[in-house]
């Protein structure tokens, strides 16, 4: 651990402005008013109409050899282990906290993991091999199930967005 640097960061965060500290003690989420909700729907509709009128080509083609790394896309939480991609299924597992992990996530990326022991949500997480093509990933005091997203080198594209498909297969949108 880079103790000196993290200490400085910890202390600086300790001393941030009072208003941010107080704001963080508010746990209830604000309810969105009906007007805000319908206002947002109307704004989106206007934006689509304007975009359709003024932007000639809404679906730009991506060159075969150039896939842009777009970190604004909200990819699902994923990890790569043994050249296989696993995706968070949102379910937890009743496994003792003390269970030893089989491996650890050591690198991280912003989009879709492409290396073994890599995630797209940070490093240091332990994982265990689970049953039926699953991996259990440890967060704080619990284990969470990630399911295989790839079989026989073929990516299961179910549930992936256009952008995700383009990222996985650069030629997807070209022809």
Partner 1 sequence: MEDLEIIGLFFKRDEAAISETATKYGAFCRGVALNVLSISADADECVNDTYLRAWNSIPPQKPDKLGAWLGRVVRNIAFDLWKKNHRQKRYAGMEEILNELEDCIPSPAAVERQIEEQELTEVINIWLASLPRNDRILFMRRYWNGETVNTLAEESGTSPANIAKKMYRLRQNLKSKLEREGYSL
Site residues, partner 1 (CB under 8 A):
1-18, 20-27, 29, 71, 75-77, 88, 90-92, 108, 110, 120-125, 137, 139-142, 144, 146
Q: How far is the CB of 148 from partner 1 (least distance, A)?
A: 15
Q: How far is the CB of 82 from partner 1 (least distance, A)?
A: 19
Residue written as tokens 């704004």?
Answer: 43
Tokens at 40, concatenated: 């947002």
Q: How far is the CB of 138 from partner 1 (least distance, A)?
A: 10
Pick 62 or 73: Cβ nearer partner 1: 73
Pick 94 or 141: Cβ nearer partner 1: 141
Three-point CA angle 52, 57, 59, nearest 5°: 100
Q: How far is the CB of 19 from partner 1 (least distance, A)?
A: 9
Q: Where are the beta strands (DSSP E) in 11-163?
A: 78-81, 84-93, 103-104, 107-108, 118-119, 126-129, 134-139, 142-148, 150-151, 154-155
Q: Are strands 107-108 and 118-119 parallel, antiparallel or unpaired?
A: parallel
Pick 11 or 153: Cβ nearer partner 1: 11
Q: How far is the CB of 57 from partner 1 (least distance, A)?
A: 30
Pick 143 or 166: Cβ nearer partner 1: 143
Pick 22 or 152: Cβ nearer partner 1: 22
Q: Where are the beta strands (DSSP E) in the chain?
A: 78-81, 84-93, 103-104, 107-108, 118-119, 126-129, 134-139, 142-148, 150-151, 154-155
């Amino acid at each position: 651990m880079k103790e000196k640097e993290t200490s400085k960061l910890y202390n600086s965060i300790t001393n941030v402005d009072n208003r941010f500290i107080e704001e963080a003690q508010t746990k209830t989420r604000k309810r969105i008013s009906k007007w805000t909700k319908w206002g947002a729907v109307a704004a989106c509709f206007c934006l689509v109409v304007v975009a359709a009128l003024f932007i000639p080509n809404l679906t730009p083609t991506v060159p075969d050899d150039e896939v842009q790394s777009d970190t604004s896309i909200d990819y699902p939480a994923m990890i790569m282990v043994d050249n296989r991609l696993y995706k968070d299924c949102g379910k937890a597992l009743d496994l003792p906290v003390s269970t030893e992990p089989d491996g650890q996530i050591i690198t991280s990326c912003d989009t879709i993991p492409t290396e073994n022991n890599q995630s797209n949500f940070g490093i240091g997480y332990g994982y265990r091999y689970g049953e039926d093509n699953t991996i259990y990933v440890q967060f704080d005091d619990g284990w969470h199930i990630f399911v295989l997203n790839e079989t026989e080198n073929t990516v299961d594209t179910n549930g992936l967005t256009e952008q995700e498909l383009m990222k996985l297969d650069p030629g997807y949108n070209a022809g």
